[in-house]
Amino acid sequence: MTMPIANAEVLVSNPGRNFVTLRITTDDGFVGLGDATLNGRELAVAAYLSEHLAPLLIGRDAHLIEDTWQYLYRGAYWRRGPVTMAAIAAVDTALWDIKAKVAGLPLYQLLGGRSRSGLLVYGHASGMDLHELYDSIREQLAEGYRAIRVQTGVPGLASVYGVASSANASVGDGGDRRYDYEPARRSAVPVEESWDTRAYLRHVPTVLEAVRNEFGPELPLLHDAHHRLTPIQAAKLGKAVEPYDLFWLEDVTPAENQAALRRVREHTTTPLAIGEVFNTIWDYRELFEEQLIDYVRSAVTHAGGITGLRRILDYAAIYQIKSGVHGPTDVSPVGLAAAIHLGIAIPNFGIQEYMRHSPATDELFRPGYTFADGMLTPGEAPGLGVDYDDAVGQAHPYQAAYLPVNRLLDGTVHDW
């Protein structure tokens, strides 16, 4: 029984931030969605999909998920890279969505069924100073989060990754405070921020110590260094924060150089998470085989879809490495739903990032997953459980946006 694909549409919309969504429709009317959002580079993936992949999909059998993955990956000749892998991810996710709808089952059932009752998630707290940070942590706890990422301002720096300033804080429709933590600004050129690693390294351990003392030993705390450190600086930070028992320290170095993590690992027992900018299993090979990390940060959206990420996580499992799937607001509800279905099924689930989309984004995608008591659950609708509302999408057209560029105080371009 084949199920030919009739249509593959690339939908680009901006309900407050840009999202690229692939919608595949079969001849007999089944519809699947895939997320292809690459923050700040959205139209590159949209063009890859509409110009190069969509024409290949028409008439193909929607049931052939693995074959299509291999056909698009090997068939391109040019391998890997965030644009290619986000495009393949969108096709793969949409095909899984369709297969589950045909089966009449929520997608996680096709991935092996439930391995747990829900996904523990972490929320996001930040403050320019301790007072703001404590308030933000209390808000997160009040919303039910049971694990919290802590990001802090650094004295002398006007703005820092992950810290909401009053300039980019906004009030959500429900009256609650919402922050956009990866401020891809709607502007013609990127905003520039400045950075001082020594000031950061002096300050962060004092903040984590204060937070640990204020909130007690139980609360899982996470921190993201956002690729800014050298291996030896990262080792120093990991060692300095050991007494505060972090759940993980994320992206300590720009991890193109996997071997850099050896240096970090030999100096600290602080758990390490990495990989939100990776896109294939090859990016993890040394990290896994030498057991240099503890958590995999890739998103379904950026690592070749459910097929790509599941393969990475199976490989991780043999080294006791767990999932910590990327879930910022630039992963759309389609990408997040895919992560939730995968996360509830896999044996080596660790934690799921959850930043909460704006009400406008949820109106566009109408996700069926639910957040309660610090846990996400996928819902029981067939497929991914996400719909795309064309009228809402058309009302919010694409707007050019860039992530910030980071410079050291002397003007040198640094990792953001």
* Residues identified as active-site: 161, 226
Instruction: Indicate the residue among 252 and 381 with the shorter CB distance to ligand GCO.
Output: 252
Residues 251-290 that bind ligand GCO (CB under 6 A): 276
Mapped onto helix, strand or coil, the DSSP state of residue 27 is coil
Instruction: Indicate the residue among 305 and 327 with the shorter CB distance to ligand GCO.
Output: 327
CA dist., res. 355 & res. 353, Å (int): 7
Instruction: Indicate the residue among 302 and 396 with the shorter CB distance to ligand GCO.
Output: 302
Q: Where are the beta strands (DSSP E) in 330-409?
A: 351-353, 370-372, 375-377, 405-408
Mapped onto helix, strand or coil, the DSSP state of residue 115 is coil
CA nearest to 10, candidates 91, 121, 69, 64: 91
The binder of 181, among Mg ion, ligand GCO, none, by C-beta within 5 to 8 A per type, is: ligand GCO
For the chain, the farthest-separated pair of C-alpha atoms sits apart, in whole angstroms, at: 65
Which one among 69, 181, 369, 388 touches ligand GCO, defined by CB under 6 A? 181
- Measured on CA atoms in the order 209, 215, 217, 222, is the torsion positive or negative? negative
In the complex, the smallest distance separating the C-beta of residue 201 from ligand GCO, rounded to whole angstroms, is 19
Per-position DSSP letters for 186-232, written without gaps between them: SSSS--EEEE-HHHHHHHHHHHHHHHHHHH-SSS-EEEE-TT---HH
The answer to whether 353 contacts Mg ion (rule: CB under 5 A) is no
The binder of 353, among ligand GCO, Mg ion, none, by C-beta within 5 to 8 A per type, is: ligand GCO
Residues 266-295 that bind Mg ion (CB under 5 A): 276
The answer to whether 226 contacts ligand GCO (rule: CB under 6 A) is yes
CA dist., res. 284 & res. 266, Å (int): 18
206-214, 302-310, 324-332, 342-350 -> range binding ligand GCO (CB under 6 A): 324-332
Which one among 353, 354, 356, 406 touches ligand GCO, defined by CB under 6 A? 353
Which one among 180, 224, 283, 330 touches Mg ion, defined by CB under 5 A? 224
Instruction: Indicate the residue among 76 and 403 with the shorter CB distance to ligand GCO.
Output: 403
In the complex, the smallest distance separating the C-beta of residue 287 from ligand GCO, rounded to whole angstroms, is 17
Strand order in the sheet with 5-13: 5-13, 19-26, 31-35
Which one among 46, 322, 330, 358 touches ligand GCO, defined by CB under 6 A? 330
The binder of 200, among Mg ion, ligand GCO, none, by C-beta within 5 to 8 A per type, is: none
> Over the range 123-148, which residues count as b (16 or more CB within 10 Å of their CB) and which as e?
bbbbbbeeebbbebbeebbeeebbbb
CA dist., res. 40 & res. 179, Å (int): 18
Binding site for ligand GCO (CB under 6 A): 39, 181-182, 224, 226, 276, 326, 328, 330, 353, 403
Binding site for Mg ion (CB under 5 A): 224, 276
